[in-house]
Amino acid sequence: MNARVRDLLLLALVTTLAVAATLAWRQWTAAPIADAARELQEQQWLAVLPPQRYDNAPLQAPLPIASAQLQHSQLLGGYRATLAGTTSAIVLRSKIQGYAGPIMLSIAIDPNGRLIATRVLMQEESPGLGGQLGDPASHWLEQFDRQGAAANWALKRDKGDFDQLAGATVTSRAVMAALQDALRYFDAQRSSLLEHTSDE
């Protein structure tokens, strides 16, 4: 009986200490985890741009885009990348409704209004169909590289220029609409997006 009571008291004591220590540790690591998460996220946003195309810290130079609503998509933010003092690219973050949920894209555009590259930041499309969007092995997004707003932005089945992702028409159309929106936005806002070209 005595041993049993001792065991139970010990159990309660150890449980309290373990929970308290874990909570304290969580409190202690909360700030580093938030920093690490932000850093990782920013790296993913910039991964769209080849490193030799910029020598500044684009994320320190956010463009004044406050959730601009475009025709089909929503712009979440934009950054200016410069190389040797001149603007080499604009990186836009865009969100559009896909088939299963929102798709977030990071879109790099060169000063002539042509696409450099596109990366998928987040998507919830059906695995194996629209989900191939996020797979680097499917090179579907690469067909849009070097295209401008003037291209015929539609799928071949809609008498356009581009192949679709097999089995994912809705996803394909959504991504293309977001890219076209971003390129049109760039053309419309070109002067203000590029204006700080020579002040560095």
Partner 1 sequence: MNRFWLLGSALAPLLGATQTLANALAIGLSALLLVLGHQALMRPLHRMIGAPRIIVSLILAAALASCLQLGLNAWALPLALSLGHYPALLSLHCLAVDALAPHPGRWSALIRHLLGLTGLCLILGACRQWLGQSAGIHLANLAPGALILLGLLLALYNRLRPAPATSSRQGTL
The dihedral of CA 146, 48, 104, 163: what is its sign? positive
Provide the phi-psi class of 42: left if phi over 0, else alpha when psi is between -120 and 50, else beta: alpha
- Does position 152 interact with partner 1 (CB under 8 A)? The reply is no
Site for partner 1 in 26-65 (CB under 8 A): 26, 29, 32-33, 36-37, 39-40
Reported as half-sphere exposure (CB side, CA atoms, 13 A), residue 42 has a value of 13
Residue type, 179: L
- Does position 25 interact with partner 1 (CB under 8 A)? The reply is yes
The token pair that represents 85 in the structure block: 């003092």
Could you tell me the smallest distance in angstroms from the CB atom of residue 79 to partner 1?
21
Name residue 77's beta-bridge partners. 93
- Does position 188 interact with partner 1 (CB under 8 A)? The reply is no
- Does position 10 interact with partner 1 (CB under 8 A)? The reply is yes
Could you tell me the smallest distance in angstroms from the CB atom of residue 31 to partner 1?
8
Using alpha carbons only, what angle is made at residue 109 by residues 108 and 111, rounded to the nearest 5 degrees? 140
Binding pattern for the stretch 79-118 against partner 1, x by CB under 8 A and - elsewhere: ----------------------------------------
Give whichever of 14 and 57 is closer to partner 1, judged by the CB atom.
14
Helical (H) or strand (E) element with 116: strand 115-122
Binding residues for partner 1, rule: CB under 8 A, are: 7-8, 10-11, 14-15, 18-19, 21-22, 25-26, 29, 32-33, 36-37, 39-40
